[in-house]
């Protein structure tokens, strides 16, 4: 009985939301510059093989909406649009790639690396999009991510990430 007055306080404490740890930023890491570097890695030149998949129109619309929101620096809202696209196309490497880039912009380096590596395992092994996957994982590592422990995802060093990124550039087959 003597602890009865404390019961409401204990019940409220039990239902309280957990304290979310603040995102630790790596000194000198600029997420917007990192994403610009990633997108630069995805630029194809005329001398390379570039595979472009077909896309569901609804997914394409969500990607367009996300781009518009990102342009306004509304990264969380853009990520929500990409999450809707992932609900429709969970194995689409380009959608995973876009979500990884937004994770970097949101300060979620571990999630960015995980998504980029998942996209790399599902996507093509050559071309600009391939380079973007590996560059994203590398930039996430620069932002302080730790390699994911998820089964099926590679756990590689930053040097290996860079090597795999560079290996994505392949000349197209000769035309006769």
What secondary structure does DSSP assign to 129-174, as a single string? HHHHHHHHHHHHHHTT------TTS----HHHHHHHHHHT--PPPP
DSSP-derived letter for residue 47 is T
- pLDDT mean over 164-175: 84
The domain at 31-44+55-147+154-168 falls in which architecture?
Alpha Horseshoe (1.25)
Cβ atoms 11, 5 nearer than 8 A: no
Higher local confidence (pLDDT), 31 or 5: 31
Q: Would the pLDDT of 14 be above 80? A: no
Residue spans per domain, the chain:
31-44+55-147+154-168
Q: Which of 13-17, 30-34, 74-78, 109-113 has the lowest mean pLDDT?
A: 13-17
């Amino acid at each position: 009985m003597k602890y009865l007055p404390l019961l409401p306080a204990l019940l409220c404490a039990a239902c309280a939301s957990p304290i979310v740890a603040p995102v630790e930023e790596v000194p000198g890491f600029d997420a917007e510059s990192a994403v610009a570097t990633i997108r630069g890695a995805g630029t194809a030149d005329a001398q390379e093989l570039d595979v472009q998949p077909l896309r569901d129109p609804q997914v394409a619309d969500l990607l367009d909406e996300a781009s518009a929101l990102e342009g306004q620096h509304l990264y969380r809202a853009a990520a929500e649009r990409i999450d809707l696209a992932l609900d429709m196309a969970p194995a689409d490497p380009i959608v995973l790639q876009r979500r990884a880039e937004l994770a970097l912009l949101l300060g979620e380096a571990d999630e960015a690396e995980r998504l980029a590596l998942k996209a790399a395992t599902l996507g093509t092994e050559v071309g600009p999009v391939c380079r973007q996957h590996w560059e994203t994982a590398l930039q996430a590592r620069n932002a302080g991510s730790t390699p994911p422990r998820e089964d099926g995802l590679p756990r590689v060093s930053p040097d290996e990430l860079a090597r795999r990124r560079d290996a994505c550039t392949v000349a197209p087959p000769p035309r006769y």
